Each structure stands twice: as C-alpha cells, then as structure tokens.
Amino acid sequence: MGNLFDDPSASGPEAELVPLHQEPGTGDSRTLRLASPGIDEVRLRALLRYQEAFLAHAEGRPGAAAPATLAEAHAKGLEASALGVKEVERGLALLRAFGGRRWTLQRVRTRYAELQGEDSPRAAERRARVEEELARLESLQELEQRYGPEQVALLLAHEPQILALHTRMGQVLQG
C-alpha cells in the first residue's frame, strides 16, 4: 500500500504510513540548510562584532539580564554589526549551535582528563562512557549536514573567539 498522499482511499488508523526517506533527520537537515543563508568571512566578523558590542553594553551591569538592558545591548550590537535583525538572528543561531557543541566538548575533555588520574573499576567505567560522549561531540557531521561543511570549516577557523564570546554571552544571559 502506498502512503496517504498516493492512495486517497487510505485513511483511518488502519492506513499504513510509509516513511518518505530512510534516514530521519537527513532530509530535514538538507531542507534547513537550503532555507538558511550561509555566512561568509565578512558576515561572521559582523556577527562577532554584534556579540562584542552586546557584551560591552551588558557585561558587568547590575541586572544585565533585565529586558531593558538586553534591548539596549541588542540595539548596540545591531549598530556595530551593520546587519539586519533577521540576518543577525539566523547567524546567531549558527554560532549558538556551533559554540554550544564545542563548549560542551571542552567541558567533557576536562572531565576526561580528571578521570585519567583515577584508578578504580568505577573510574574505568566512567572513562568508557566519557570516551563515547567525546566521540559523539567531536563529530561535526550533524552541524555539517545542517549548515554545510564550508560553514563549519569557517567556524572552526575562528573557534577560540567564538567559544570565548559564547561563554560570556551565556554568563550574561543567565544573569
């Protein structure tokens, strides 16, 4: 039996649904990649200027996470970047996805280094779990599927600055 779109007589709970693609997520990632405009070196630098201006206004202020402060910081960031709101939001989504994953990788690497000094069956078991997590986090395949390998390569070239800004933005936004 075909899927519901192929067979108009197929309806109700007994209707068989046929998956439209074999690997869930892969088609969605390609669609999302096509829908999101890529960033180049110039746009990336503009996004980093946005974050720096945002942080210059919000960091260290009492009530930095207050709506008025965040709105002012956002306006300062937009001015510094010379980008539109939509372009900034789309670019920041990419930076958050990349920065969050790489920040987590750093944390897990630190934890793994701490576990190396422990010598017990429990520590060995924990090291094995952390090694699996490291392998998952080190893979950039999901990001490459979602944003494209060129985008990920560009972000990797600026990773230290992106991670520093990601960490600082998180601290400000968490209050």
Task: Give DSSP secondary structure letters for 119-166.
Answer: -SHHHHHHHHHHHHHHHHHH--HHHHHHH-HHHHHHHHHTHHHHHHHH
Asked if the structure places residue 16 within a domain, the reply is no
Which is higher by pLDDT, 138 or 24?
138
Q: Are 73 and 173 in contact (CB under 8 A)?
A: no
Answer yes or no: is pLDDT of 22 > 50. no
> How many Å separate Cα 140 from the centre of its chain?
11
Residue 27 lies in a domain: no
CA–CA distance, 83 with 50 (Å, rounded to integer): 9
Is 29 inside a domain boundary? no
User: Residue 174 pLDDT > 80, yes or no?
Assistant: yes
How close are the terminal C-alpha atoms of the chain, in Å? 55
CB 94 within 8 A of CB 151: yes
Is 8 a member of any domain? Answer: no
| pTM assigned to the model | 0.75
Q: Is residue 149 part of a domain?
A: yes
How far, in Å, CA of 142 to CA of 122, rounded? 31
Return the number of other C-beta atoms located less than 10 Å from residue 115's C-beta.
Answer: 16
Cα torsion 71, 75, 81, 83 to 10°: value is: 90
Residue 13: count of CB within 10 angstroms of its CB: 4
Please check whether residue 73 lies inside any domain of the structure. yes
Would 145 be classed as within a structural domain? yes
Query: 84-135: per-residue pLDDT in tens?
Result: 999 999 999 999 999 999 999 999 999 889 888 888 888 889 889 999 999 9
Q: How many domains does the chain have?
A: 1
**Cβ atoms within 10 Å, residue 165:** 20
Q: Residue 38 — φ and ψ, nearest 5°? A: -75, 165
pLDDT at residue 59 above 90? yes
Comparing 16-20, 107-111, 136-140, 154-158, which segment has the lowest mean pLDDT?
16-20
Q: How far is CA 146 from the centre of its chain?
A: 10
Domain of 155, in residue numbers = 40-174
Q: Given pLDDT bands bounded at 50, 70 and 90, which one contains residue 1?
A: very low
The answer to the question of residue 7 being in a domain is: no
Distance between CA atoms of residues 136 and 133, nearest Å: 5
